[in-house]
Structure 1
Amino acid sequence: MAALVASLSLALTTPQPVALSTTVGPSQVRREQWHLQYLDIAKVHQISQGAGVIVAVADTRVFDHPDLRGNVLPGIDITTSSPVNRQAPSSHGTLMAGLIAAHGQGKGGGALGIAPRAKVLPVRVQPDLQQGSTEDLAAGVEWATANHADVISISSVAGASVRLQQAVRAAIEANIVVVAAAGNRPEDSGVGYPASEQGVVAVGGTDKTGRLASISVTGPEIDVVAPAADIYSTSYGGKYAKGTGTSSATAIVAGAAALIRSKYPDLPAQEVAHRLTATAIDKGPPGRDDEYGYGVIDLVAALTADVPPLGFETPSVTAPTSTAAHDSSDDNSTARGLATLGVLLAAGGGYLVWRRRRRAGNPPPRISR
């Protein structure tokens, strides 16, 4: 059984670093970050920028970068694998950190994160350019929990080892918002672990039109989707990189959770997840579906909507109008849903009906390549 749960794979196609002196540098990268306009980030940052929130990034190394300087806390290296090739470092962890908390370089230059006043807590659980260990990820989640993370971002898919399951469940019990990548096609046939765990916000990805990205896996565990295609962010050596995968979408949603926790500091973790899913813009078939979950995240609505708390019944509420996350077909409804303890509009009844989201049972452990 141990062999079935030993592997850890990143949920991102390999990001290619772009030298500052060639195609994309600080003056161009903000324009290349199409997801910022898509999510109406200028309006979002008038409401919240994530101040006072710590987001643990369980990933590869987070390198020093001008756009992240001052926003990265002392972290830990938990990797137990053999030494890495220092000549070919991985951009992955730095890419994720920038998507969450990059602050740019002033006057609209440099990369900008979803929560630029949040702090990143780097938890290195994967060696550069090598497959990681599920046990390292478990230890990383344990360490992030013990060091008071408010959000844990996991842009990888692992085997559901006993220790990892215990670590993730303990983080949830500790009032931490755990956000995880659903996984990428064709490597994964369904939503991977820990995204498939009850209480974790499972994230799929969309393309630039708002439609499901071709790389995003589907399944009954999907909660929300976010931009995942050609996403630019920070890289090593002061450079920038772009990646495609549910990794990027996960970091964006983790940043969104930081925004909510900053604006509503007393809101429990499950209510933060509730806000993300209850205000999501419905896509696909009406209501929750296996491709989009409850829909594309709507950051303005998540920060401003009057969202009834979990377990509360009230007459039907008209959702606020938002211009965020519109696709090219204008096929955007305002039906809302929620993930961890879902909310659905009762058909024809005008009352919110509450139910548990997750399916019965858990998938067996498997290797994610």
Structure 2
Amino acid sequence: MAQLRRTASLPAVFSFPPAECRPGSFAVRPGAASWEAMNRRFALSALTLLLTACGQIESAPHLSDRTIDLGTRLSAEVRVPLQGRWEISRVPDWLDVSGRSGTGDIALTVTAHRPNATPAAADQPQLRGVIEVSSTRPDGTVQSTARWTVTADQYRLSGRVTEAPAVGGQDLHLSQTPTPAPQREVRGLIVTYRSAANRDAVLPVRVSAQSTLSAEARQARATLDALGIAPAQRQPLSERSVVLSGLSDVAQAQARLAADPAVLSVTPNVVLHALATPAAPQTATPVVPDDQYAPLQWAFPLMGYGAVWRDMDAGGYTRPVTVAVADSGVRYDHPDLAGQLWTPQEGALDVLSGTDNGDGDGPDRDPTDPSFAGRKTESHGTHVTGIIVARWGQNAPSCAGCSPTGVVGASYKAPIKVLPIRVLDTQGNTDLADVINAVRYAAGLPVKLGEQVYTNPHPAQVLNLSLGGEGISTAEAQPMCDAVAQARERGTLTFAAAGNSGTGQPYYPAACPAAVAVGSVTLTAAGTPTHATYSNHYAQVQLSAPGGSSVLAPTYYAGGTFGGEPFPDDIVSTGWDYQKDEPNYVAMAGTSQATPQVAAVAALLLSKGVTQGPDDTLARLTATSTDLGAPGRDDFYGFGMVNAAAALGAPAVSNTLGVLLSDGQGHTYRPALNALGHFTAYLGEGDYRVLAGRDLDANGLFGEAHEPRSQAAQATLSPAQPQVELGELTVKP
């Protein structure tokens, strides 16, 4: 409302509401004073203000473009003031108008018949069409034309197609491993000398006589002797580095060594830990199995492995690939890993330098994740290994109640083997020096452990590090990052867990420039991937993959059922029951579980020959990932979630699940299913019959008479009921 306030020359206040606006007219309502008392000049000003307020009035007989938004309504009335004759020349097939021509004001009803415009994929949330209208002069010539855009929101029908069997078993349980916040711990120092001669001078086996040493080398030896560091406490780490252990005062030794001119750098040998989230509450009680646990491995269909495995059936995955898993070791006696691992005689290694690591000895050729009385922790390395190479089909009998088939690994028929390297003790801890040795050994570089030099006979093309350290600085991580870089130069691509603290704090070795940091995704209630809140997010994160449900936020049970109850969206893989000392299967979650998902795809790329080395493999993974979150690379997802089918170029084939919708008007729709069987169909008004099933003959129709199918469901969509959720449609043979 325009308002003029009283001044010295005006005796009253007048208001001019725009409510009376009509073509060719105006209205003025007086305030406290009468119209006759108003100054003529002021009246003209008021008229100007009023006409401004009425600026949306169309000047007869001209028409203008407009939008008619039906929303979820079936129809809407249209009123347009007009002088002269008008005519509608074009109306989309899915719209009706109550009149096509007339004289004077346009008054008509627009009605939508949405099924007439709904595509077969039922994937358009909104319909849009254009009505063309024109006005004419008395002599019949066109005066003006306009385009009226009509929009109509579609109704939504959603559900999920599933073939989930009744899964149960005595040997599957949720990980209950306690994961208290680790305290910072160091195990001595890593010293890098300015020359190899300086390093050689301080080693237990001295290659040069005292008289032939340079002054700097003699100083290097003297510094360690003065600190009381015995020769047995000095072990070579790389060409110019040694690791010093058993120090009584690490801080004092670090200060003395930093002042030594023979020393380039000295860093604490910081303890790293296995990355695992706090255990999720157990929601299902295992029973005697009646089927394998693959239906609970939701990560594989989410990444497109159905197509990848069909691609393997056609051949092409012929190149042998070694994936080194530097972790807590592995259980060679797990039947689901039989024949999938390099053995101790073939290069497997335990690099742990201490003897208090659970197996009672130091470095040797046995990387078994050991059993001992009272052990309660899970076999982290066995779980990670199974994600990559667990066997398919029947396993050798192992124990009463053990699943005869268990889980599947990503590798399927590809000639991929895991090289176990034990670098985590039974508490999930290690230190920088041991990790450096593991990385170097994996890449085929010689490492000296104790008095023996070990060289890997099967250098790995891919290295998985599901471990990391909290609060390690860039400087402290540098020796480890150097090892990762050296490994990459030799053809080993390292994938490392991004961390599970849910912060922006970088974790090492994931944040090393030559490593690939892997974040974790989990599922929403709709079955779509989303960033797991426990997964660290920082600039070095390059890729993400399914790592399991978040226990730091509400968990959605969209991945399957177990024993008739919802099962959390964790990652199910091979494990070991240390109380019974027998194989089992465990559900875990964390970036430790996401990392081998990516390592497996990298190995498959190399096996198929899609890529040849570290650089093109990483480029292929990032280029074909599913971009989630902000467009392009972001700190939460990196370049996106790894997509195995896209990376490997797997072809589409038949024998797929789908859903068929039909209404009483002869319309048929085939909405797409996502990897977990969820669908959303955008449809028009009507009654629908919904049938889920398999398409065995590649004709795009699901659940025909000769095909597995669900019971038919019914749904009605209308303005009064614009959304219907059907729930699960279970396909049966």
State the Cα deviation string for residues 106-139 of structure 1 (Å, max 9, x = none): 4993211112331000000011124211211111
Report the CA distance between 1:51 and its aligned residue: 5.4
Report the CA distance between 1:5 and its aligned residue: 4.5
- Structure 2 distance, partners of 1:24, 1:249, is 29
Q: How does 1:313-328 map to 2 (within 5 A)?
A: none
- Structure 2 distance, partners of 1:181, 1:246, is 5
SS of the counterpart of 2:531?
A: coil
1:248 maps to 593
Structure 1 residue 293 and structure 2 residue 591: aligned? no
Question: Contact 2:460–2:492 at 8 Å: present in 1 too?
Answer: yes
Q: Is the helix fraction higher in 1 or 2?
A: 1
How high is the TM-score relative to the length of structure 1? 0.76
- Structure 2 distance, partners of 1:94, 1:50, is 25
Task: Give identity over the alignment, percent.
Answer: 32
- Structure 2 distance, partners of 1:200, 1:276, is 14
Structure 1 residue 257 and structure 2 residue 602: aligned? yes
- Structure 2 distance, partners of 1:196, 1:5, is 17
SS of the counterpart of 1:190?
A: coil
Structure 1 residue 168 and structure 2 residue 484: aligned? yes
Question: Contact 1:26–1:105 at 8 Å: present in 2 too?
Answer: no
1:340 maps to none
2:273 maps to 9
1:349 maps to none
Distance 1:114 1:184, change over 3 A: same
Which residue among 386, 395, 420 is the counterpart of 1:122? 420
1:109 maps to 405
- Structure 1 distance, partners of 2:675, 2:621, is 14
SS of the counterpart of 2:337?
A: coil
State the Cα deviation string for residues 329-354 of structure 1 (Å, max 9, x = none): 99xxxxxxxxxxxxxxxxxxxxxxxx
- Which amino acid is the alignment partner of residue 97 of structure 1? T
Distance 1:192 1:23, change over 3 A: farther
1:334 maps to none
Question: Contact 1:211–1:327 at 8 Å: present in 2 too?
Answer: no
2:545 maps to 226
- Structure 2 distance, partners of 1:327, 1:205, is 21
1:99 maps to 387
- Structure 1 distance, partners of 2:408, 2:639, is 26
5+ long unaligned stretches in structure 1: 306-321, 331-369
- Which amino acid is the alignment partner of residue 390 of structure 2? A
2:299 maps to 35
Report the CA distance between 1:46 and its aligned residue: 2.7
5+ long unaligned stretches in structure 2: 1-185, 190-249, 251-267, 359-370, 396-403, 445-455, 549-569, 577-581, 651-671, 681-733
Which residue among 52, 58, 66 is the counterpart of 2:335? 66
SS of the counterpart of 1:54?
A: strand
- Which amino acid is the alignment partner of residue 184 of structure 1? N
2:437 maps to 139
Structure 1 residue 56 and structure 2 residue 354: aligned? no
- Structure 2 distance, partners of 1:280, 1:234, is 27
State the Cα deviation string for residues 205-230 of structure 1 (Å, max 9, x = none): 00023000111010111111100111
- Structure 2 distance, partners of 1:71, 1:271, is 26
Between 1 and 2, higher relative CO (CA 8 Å, sep ≥ 6) is seen in 1
- Which amino acid is the alignment partner of residue 592 of structure 2? S
2:103 maps to none
1:359 maps to none
Distance 1:326 1:177, change over 3 A: farther
- Structure 1 distance, partners of 2:482, 2:290, is 42
Query: Which has the greater radius of gyration?
Result: 2
Q: Which moved more, 1:154-163 or 1:241-250?
A: 154-163
Question: Contact 1:59–1:126 at 8 Å: present in 2 too?
Answer: yes
- Structure 1 distance, partners of 2:386, 2:305, is 15
Question: Contact 1:15–1:242 at 8 Å: present in 2 too?
Answer: no
Instruction: Give the length in aligned residue pairs.
Output: 310
Distance 1:203 1:130, change over 3 A: closer
2:372 maps to 86
- Structure 1 distance, partners of 2:521, 2:460, is 27
Report the CA distance between 1:154 and its aligned residue: 0.4
Report the CA distance between 1:92 and its aligned residue: 0.4
- Which amino acid is the alignment partner of residue 109 of structure 1? T
Distance 1:15 1:50, change over 3 A: farther
1:283 maps to 628
Which residue among 197, 217, 230 is the counterpart of 2:512? 197
- Structure 1 distance, partners of 2:390, 2:319, is 13
- Structure 2 distance, partners of 1:268, 1:67, is 29
Report the CA distance between 1:263 and its aligned residue: 1.0
- Structure 2 distance, partners of 1:284, 1:246, is 18
- Structure 2 distance, partners of 1:232, 1:136, is 28
- Which amino acid is the alignment partner of residue 44 of structure 1? V
Question: Contact 2:510–2:518 at 8 Å: present in 1 too?
Answer: yes
Distance 1:129 1:27, change over 3 A: farther
What is the aligned-residue RMSD (CA, Å)?
Answer: 2.9
Q: Which moved more, 1:51-60 or 1:85-94?
A: 85-94
SS of the counterpart of 2:443?
A: helix
2:460 maps to 149
Question: Contact 2:466–2:593 at 8 Å: present in 1 too?
Answer: yes
- Structure 2 distance, partners of 1:203, 1:300, is 19
Distance 1:23 1:274, change over 3 A: farther
How high is the TM-score relative to the length of structure 2? 0.40
- Structure 2 distance, partners of 1:141, 1:111, is 29
Distance 1:252 1:295, change over 3 A: same
Question: Contact 2:383–2:574 at 8 Å: present in 1 too?
Answer: yes
Question: Contact 2:495–2:515 at 8 Å: present in 1 too?
Answer: yes
- Structure 2 distance, partners of 1:260, 1:7, is 33
Question: Contact 1:50–1:261 at 8 Å: present in 2 too?
Answer: no
Question: Contact 2:500–2:535 at 8 Å: present in 1 too?
Answer: yes
Report the CA distance between 1:245 and its aligned residue: 0.3
Q: Which moved more, 1:1-10 or 1:74-83?
A: 1-10
- Which amino acid is the alignment partner of residue 327 of structure 2? D
State the Cα deviation string for residues 161-192 of structure 1 (Å, max 9, x = none): 44322211111101111111101115x65231
Question: Contact 1:219–1:291 at 8 Å: present in 2 too?
Answer: yes
Question: Contact 1:91–1:241 at 8 Å: present in 2 too?
Answer: no
Report the CA distance between 1:47 and its aligned residue: 2.8
Q: Runs (4+) of structure 1 moved beyond 4 Å?
A: 1-5, 23-26, 48-51, 322-330
- Structure 2 distance, partners of 1:130, 1:102, is 22
- Structure 2 distance, partners of 1:191, 1:324, is 33
Q: How does 1:181-196 map to 2 (within 5 A)?
A: 181-186=497-502, 189-196=504-511
- Structure 2 distance, partners of 1:119, 1:262, is 11
- Structure 1 distance, partners of 2:677, 2:462, is 29
